[in-house]
Amino acid sequence: MGYAGRFTSGKLPLSQRISRILRSYQAGRPKLRVMIAGRFAKKYVKKNGRYVVAGLVTNMSDFYRSCDIVVGTGRVALEAIACGKPVLAVGYGGYIGPVTVKNFNTAWRSNFGDHKDKREKWTNGQFINGLNKILQWKKSGKIQTIQIRKLMIRQFSSRIMIKKIARLYQKSPLRSAK
């Protein structure tokens, strides 16, 4: 299980909270290993045995591939999904939970819990329930993860993004002013 986040300024309390929850979650599970990645993580989070604090990681795809579950928001969530990993999305803006085909668009619009119109409080219990749910997925979770990855690739393929950018330029007020 891995968490990648920013241990800087406004995100520090969130990163520390998630790190604490993961440490306590791991305590009763002797086979569970937790890895924490993020700039300055080593400064704020103490490692011990199965609780690994990697700090700044330059090759995040290797980090994601070494995890069964990734906790994160924004780019972390998208990259982990692209690597075929289930994601628990929880951020500064609120709790999304396990990312599924059903909630993918909602998760995307809030940057996977990082940005919402109104900040929503979430509980440690919600977080732990989300982790438990993903751990219980077994075969259906692999299918779900594959479906989410395909959905994301379709939605953000270079061909689709080029079409969206072209439409933006076609609608541009500068273009019509010529």
CATH of the domain at 87: 3.40.50.2000
Residues 17, 83, 146, 98, Cα dihedral to 10°: 10
Instruction: List the 34-37 sheet strands across, edge first.
Output: 51-55, 34-37, 2-4, 70-71, 87-90, 95-98
Could you give the number of structural domains in the chain?
A: 1
Domain range for 157: 2-176
Q: What count of Cα atoms within 13 Å lies in the side-chain half-sphere of residue 50?
A: 15
Q: Please give the biggest Cα pair distance in the chain.
A: 67
Closest CA to 85 of 153, 14, 23, 1: 1
Which pLDDT value is given to residue 175? 55
* pTM of the model as a whole: 0.84
Task: Give the C-alpha separation, 85 to 108, whole Å.
Answer: 16
- The pLDDT tens digits along the chain (178 residues) read 999 998 988 889 999 999 999 999 999 888 999 999 999 999 999 888 889 999 999 999 999 999 999 999 999 999 999 999 999 999 988 999 999 999 999 999 999 988 877 788 999 999 999 999 998 887 666 777 888 888 888 887 888 888 888 988 888 666 555 5
How far is Cα of residue 48 from the mean position of the Cα atoms in its chain?
24
3-class state of residue 11 by DSSP: helix
